[in-house]
Structure 1
């Protein structure tokens, strides 16, 4: 009698498990339609690379704000960066000497006083 109840209980649990799995399968079922024309057509990125449709999409690709950044010449002219690149090429950028000397190199133009950060000062 107990074996029948245990078997019946296991069958009931298996049915519940299957019903939960079926509900999960319905939730994650693929709803995309088969569209071979769309699948084989060019993507927006490939069209942009070929120059197709640039005029109509130019407005969308225009940045919202202008960037005020440094140019390549200004970055490379910094002696700290040039020294760090020389150390890196020599494989010495992680040495004690590099860690000691890099903070001591001053920039070409000293930074403004109001740009000094006090975040890491204790």
Structure 2
């Protein structure tokens, strides 16, 4: 599926907006920089390639599991950023680009809400 497919973008962005709404409902201050983690699933070799080049997308490796409880590989990446809409729009575009470039699937993102400036 293409990065530019409107339905794909809309589905990803709507899911991300739901996370943002939850953060805001719990008092998150969007302009505070914090650690955002993004997880990816896919073929082991694809995840290894992503692990090796994640810094090109502004990430560091948080953890890499070659076989989770179900025997599937799982890569967690992390970067520091805000949760304002522009920053999250960039995050969404970035993980969609990673999916296309590496043949992996984003399994979601998360962060600890920041309630103090």
Same-fold status (TM-score > 0.5)? no
Larger strand proportion, structure 1 or 2?
2
Shorter-chain TM-score range: under 0.3
Q: Does 1 or 2 have the higher relative contact order (CA < 8 Å, sep 6+)? A: 2
TM-score calculated relative to the size of structure 1: 0.23
TM-score calculated relative to the size of structure 2: 0.24
Q: Give the structure with higher Rg (CA).
A: 1
Larger helix proportion, structure 1 or 2?
1
